[in-house]
Amino acid sequence: MAVETVKTVETGKTGKTRKPTIQTSKDHRSLGFTLIEMLTVISIIGVLAALLMPALSGARERGRRIVCANNLRQIGLAIATYSNDYQNHTPTPDYNWDKTPTVSPGGPVSWNYILIDRGYATPKVFQCPNDHRYQTTSGNLTIYPCSYGMIAGRDNETPTQQGNGNFWIGGSRITCPYLTNSVTAIVGEFLSDSANVHPTVQQYGSDQNIQNHTAFMTSPVDGSATRRPASKHMQSNPFAGNYLFMDGHVEWVEKIPSANTSRTDPTLLQMFPPVPTPPTIPSNVTVPCP
């Protein structure tokens, strides 16, 4: 603030005075931040960012889970539509015959490819947001990533056996009396870096889905890590993830333990049931729901 002081000085001559002089004093304090003030503001911003980052990260992950669940709902609709066209049967994990010109003539294809090739689904719905792989090419064909696997049930290592398997869950009829559709899962998240499980949408009968046997899973109690469900949503529990059930609903399941999983756990027996032995089925038939 400027302070003005006016002085009037007489000259000694009659009727004349010296012109008043004005002295101005100014406050020269800086209008900017001091170093201490700036460091304080930076510290406060850092603390707020540290508090908000976990919340923002959690919100992003919840969004990815929702997108993943929506993918499985679309896959469920595709499987239901497919079954309507094929006498209530779902696709098999890796032994679906497709003689269209886009695949090798007479070659078996995986469940995801048959759904795409017949127009029931698009490649986009087979990739979870946590799956950061890109599509690749093999000759004139495009190989799409797939984050999901069909479920074949506990201990069912060879559900198709090149056409001679039991076709349990994947390949069964939706109306099969041995399936409890509301609690039996048919598709789950199936992507693991540690177990080297990286499914793709198979293009040929000899593609990596059959060579690496990554088109399907059995259950969390399987002795091989390449047959267990695997999700990237929770690092502490790879079994926690979205699952598509036989009745078409999708559910986030977190109650499957990540360690010391019991083979008699009721949840696992319901979600991943072993192949039943129907008492009325002929001894020479291995298919529970032909």
Select, from the ranges 76-80, 140-144, 267-271, 281-285, the one with the highest average predicted confidence (pLDDT).
Answer: 76-80
Query: Is the pLDDT reported for residue 82 higher than 50?
Result: yes
Where do the domains of the chain lie?
68-271
196-239 pLDDT per residue, tens: 888 888 655 444 444 445 789 999 998 888 899 999 898 888 89
| Comparison of pLDDT for 127 and 193, the residue scoring more | 127
The 10 Å CB-count burial string (b at 16+, else e) for 10-39 is: eeeeeeeeeeeeeeeeeeeeeeeeeeeeee
Q: Is 280 helix (H, G, I), strand (E, B) or coil?
A: coil
- Compute the average pLDDT of residues 12-26: 55
| Comparison of pLDDT for 29 and 125, the residue scoring more | 125
What does the pLDDT read at residue 166?
87
Name the strand (E) or helix (H) holding 68.
helix 35-85
| Comparison of pLDDT for 198 and 122, the residue scoring more | 122
| Comparison of pLDDT for 117 and 104, the residue scoring more | 117
Query: Quick check: 93 and 199 in contact, CB under 8 A?
Result: no
Distances (CA, A) of 20 to 1, 15, 26: 21, 15, 20
Give percent of the chain with pLDDT exceeding 90: 35
170-187 pLDDT per residue, tens: 989 998 888 989 999 999
* Cα–Cα distance for residue pair 10/18, rounded to 1 Å: 6
Q: In the predicted model, what is the mean pLDDT of the chain?
A: 80
Q: Is the pTM of this model over 0.85?
A: no
| Comparison of pLDDT for 192 and 128, the residue scoring more | 128
Query: Is the pLDDT reported for residue 145 higher than 60?
Result: yes
242-282 pLDDT per residue, tens: 999 999 999 999 888 766 578 888 889 999 999 987 666 66
Query: Is the pLDDT reported for residue 77 higher than 90?
Result: yes
- Compute the average pLDDT of residues 117-129: 93
Which of 27-41, 53-67, 107-121 is predicted with the least confidence, judged by mean pLDDT? 27-41
> Which of 96, 85, 114, 125 is closest to 242 using CA atoms?
125
What does the pLDDT read at residue 75?
98
DSSP label at residue 91: P
Confidence of residue 91 (pLDDT cuts 50, 70, 90): very high
Which of 123-137, 138-152, 207-221 is predicted with the least confidence, judged by mean pLDDT? 207-221
